[in-house]
């Protein structure tokens, strides 16, 4: 670890632009501190000292010789952004509009087109369009590449600027240039920005006694919304079975995922996080009281089921509380912590991994369903899905807690021309508590 006096001296050198200060730092430190620990620190930090010297020299060379003048603030901001982006696909340095957008997204109210985006190799990829938004109505699909926004190519303007361009005044049009993995040519689609006020939970009856709950993403109030939805359903009739649809749910707020799993469990571990710092190691337990009264549950998942939605699916599966139907989930088993640096800047960095109650790691592995179903839809076979393990720079899955597919009792794949939802209805009817329909 770099000693605090050296860090202070380095900060001074950055501000003053002096490489000489950095060269003198080890001598100053030895004179100011006890020699024994400083000698050890110097030995451990010698490589860091050299790297910092190169950094300052590079900064000075760019400032002096680049073809156009660039102010120091821009250079340092870009350096920080690059440093954080190299960590993993989900860590980022947020400034200005990007920071505000993240805060808006967790509340679920903003102006835009309604699509979850992942940055990959300097490009924007659609994780999932959000139900009932312009993006969903325009037919955007998971895996689509956004090559340009209003004619400005994302590779040229940068992903942060492109993300900002997706948002704007309600009623204004925005044109996207998209490339679909299954097609050679790109195409354009024009959408009209709308107020994206997303109810994260929706509910309805499929047949008498059988409820359908759809969670599109995990916002701040999703746990409360789910409880309200269950209360509304049970005020109308007795609950004999539940289909919980988490397909194309990109996740969101961890505490909301815990609250949703808690609603279906009568105690026990929901998820464990493990990281380097003490605050990153947490165990989240369910409270007593299953809000469904023990009604059987079928959980629908696919390759777009990620993060907090994988926590819910894994917890219900491990406790034998729900039958998982669909496809292996995305595999985003890492925790991101938002660390504000100022009113307009923040770090979003990965601080831990998720583990299911049985100790399985979600990271780069995902949740394997009990029954696999191939989603066909009106467009026929879908292109191969992109999952966490396909992302450049993703965190590896730890050896402990790896997915053991054999331990799940084997898989019974089927083709779902009739739809995964109808298959879920049949499974619950076969459970014996529902009448035929």
Is 307 annotated in the active site? yes
Same domain, 307 and 257: yes
In a domain, 77, yes or no: no
In a domain, 95, yes or no: no
| Residue 106 banded pLDDT, cuts 50, 70, 90 | low
Q: Is the pLDDT of residue 2 over 50?
A: no
Q: What digits encode the pLDDT tens for the residues 326-359?
A: 999 999 999 988 899 998 899 999 999 999 999 9
Same domain, 224 and 265: yes
Q: What digits encode the pLDDT tens for the residues 159-215?
A: 777 877 888 888 999 999 999 988 889 999 999 999 877 678 999 999 999 999 999
In a domain, 101, yes or no: no
pTM for the whole structure? 0.70
- Which of 70, 92, 124 corresponds to the end of one domain? 70
Residue 199's pLDDT is 77
Is 318 annotated in the active site? yes
CA distance 47 to 32: 21
- Which of 197, 226, 243 corresponds to the end of one domain? 197
Q: What digits encode the pLDDT tens for the residues 125-153?
A: 887 787 788 999 999 998 899 999 999 98
Same domain, 187 and 219: no
Number of domains in the chain: 3
Same domain, 169 and 209: no
CA distance 417 to 404: 28
In a domain, 91, yes or no: no
Residue 404's pLDDT is 52
| Residue 109 banded pLDDT, cuts 50, 70, 90 | low
**Which of the following is catalytic: 262, 332, 361, 416?**
332
Is 46 annotated in the active site? no
CATH number, domain at 178?
2.30.42.10
Domain enclosing residue 256, as ranges: 201-430
Q: What digits encode the pLDDT tens for the residues 112-123?
A: 898 877 777 677
CA distance 116 to 322: 27
Same domain, 347 and 413: yes
Same domain, 53 and 156: no
In a domain, 79, yes or no: no
The overall average pLDDT reported for the chain is 81
Q: What digits encode the pLDDT tens for the residues 72-81?
A: 999 999 999 9
Same domain, 233 and 251: yes
| Residue 420 banded pLDDT, cuts 50, 70, 90 | confident
Same domain, 52 and 139: no
**Which of the following is catalytic: 318, 334, 361, 416?**
318
Same domain, 207 and 123: no
Same domain, 174 and 253: no
Q: Is the pLDDT of residue 11 over 80?
A: no
Sign of CA dihedral 295, 325, 246, 170: negative
CA distance 229 to 245: 14
Least confident stretch, 137-146, 149-158, 299-308 = 149-158
In a domain, 86, yes or no: no
- Which of 52, 70, 88 corresponds to the end of one domain? 70
In a domain, 100, yes or no: no
Same domain, 211 and 184: no
Helix/strand/coil (H/E/C) assignment for every residue in the chain? CCCHHHHHHHHHHHHHCCHHHHHHHHHHHHHHCCHHHHHHHHHHCHHHHHHHHHHHHHHHHHHHHCCCCCCHHHHHHHHHHHHHHCCCCCCEEEEHHHHHHHHHHHHCEEEECCEEEEEECCEEEEEEECCCCHHHHCCCCCCCEEEEECCEEHHHHCHHHHHHHHCCCCCCEEEEEEECCCCCCCEEEEEECEEEECCCEEEEEEECCEEEEEECCECCCHHHHHHHHHHHHHCCCCCCEEEEECCCCCCECHHHHHHHHHHHCCCEEEEEEEECCHHHCEEEEECCCCCCCCCCEEEEECCCCCCHHHHHHHHHHHCCCCEEEECCCCCCCEEEEEEECCCCEEEEEEEEEEECCCCCECCCCCCCCCEEEECCCCCCCCCCCCCHHHCCCCCCCCCCCCCCHHHHCCCCCEECCCCHHHHHHHHHHHCCCCCCC
Q: How many Å is the Cα radius of gyration of the chain?
A: 25
Q: How many Cβ atoms from other residues are within 10 Å of residue 405's Cβ? A: 11
Residue 308's pLDDT is 95
Q: What digits encode the pLDDT tens for the residues 34-70?
A: 444 445 555 556 778 888 899 999 999 999 999 999 9
CATH number, domain at 373?
3.90.226.10
Q: Is the pLDDT of residue 433 over 70?
A: no
In a domain, 267, yes or no: yes
Same domain, 13 and 53: yes
């Amino acid at each position: 670890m770099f000693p605090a006096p050296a860090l202070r001296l380095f900060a001074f050198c950055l501000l003053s632009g002096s490489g000489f200060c950095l060269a003198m730092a080890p001598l100053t430190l030895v004179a100011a501190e006890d020699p024994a620990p400083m000698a050890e620190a110097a030995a451990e930090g010698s490589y860091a000292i050299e790297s910092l010297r190169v950094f300052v020299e590079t900064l000075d060379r760019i400032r002096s010789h680049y073809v156009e003048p660039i102010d120091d603030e821009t250079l340092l901001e870009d350096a920080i952004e690059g440093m954080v982006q190299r960590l993993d696909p989900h860590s980022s340095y947020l400034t200005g509009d990007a920071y505000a957008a993240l805060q808006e997204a967790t509340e679920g109210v903003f102006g835009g087109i309604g699509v979850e985006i992942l940055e990959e190799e300097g490009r924007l990829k659609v994780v999932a369009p959000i139900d009932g938004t312009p993006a969903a109505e325009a037919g955007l699909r998971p895996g689509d590449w956004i090559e340009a926004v209003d004619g400005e190519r994302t590779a040229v303007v940068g992903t942060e600027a492109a993300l900002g361009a997706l948002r704007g005044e309600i009623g204004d049009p925005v044109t996207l240039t998209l490339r679909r993995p299954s097609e050679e040519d790109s195409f354009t689609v024009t959408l009209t920005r709308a107020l994206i006020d997303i109810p994260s939970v929706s509910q309805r009856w499929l047949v008498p006694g059988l409820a359908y709950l759809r969670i599109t993403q995990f916002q701040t109030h999703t746990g409360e919304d789910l409880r309200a939805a269950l209360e509304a359903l049970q005020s109308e009739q007795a609950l004999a079975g539940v289909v919980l649809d988490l397909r194309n749910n990109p996740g969101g707020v961890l505490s909301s995922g815990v609250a949703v799993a808690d609603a279906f469990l009568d105690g026990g571990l929901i998820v464990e996080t493990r990281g380097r710092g003490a605050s990153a190691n947490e165990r989240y337990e369910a409270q007593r009281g299953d809000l469904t009264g023990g009604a059987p549950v079928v959980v629908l998942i696919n390759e777009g089921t990620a993060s907090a939605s994988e926590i819910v699916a894994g917890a219900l599966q491990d406790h034998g509380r729900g039958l998982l139907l669909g496809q292996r989930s995305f595999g985003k088993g890492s925790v991101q912590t938002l660390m504000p640096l100022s009113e307009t800047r923040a770090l979003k960095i990965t601080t831990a991994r998720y583990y299911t109650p049985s100790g399985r790691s979600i990271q780069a592995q995902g949740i394997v369903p009990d029954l696999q179903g191939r989603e066909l839809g009106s467009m026929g076979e879908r292109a191969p899905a992109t999952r966490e393990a396909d992302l450049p720079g993703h965190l590896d899955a730890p050896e402990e807690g790896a997915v053991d597919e054999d331990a799940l009792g084997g898989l019974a794949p089927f083709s779902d021309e009739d739809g995964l939802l109808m298959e879920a209805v049949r499974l619950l009817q076969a459970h014996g508590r529902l009448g035929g329909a």
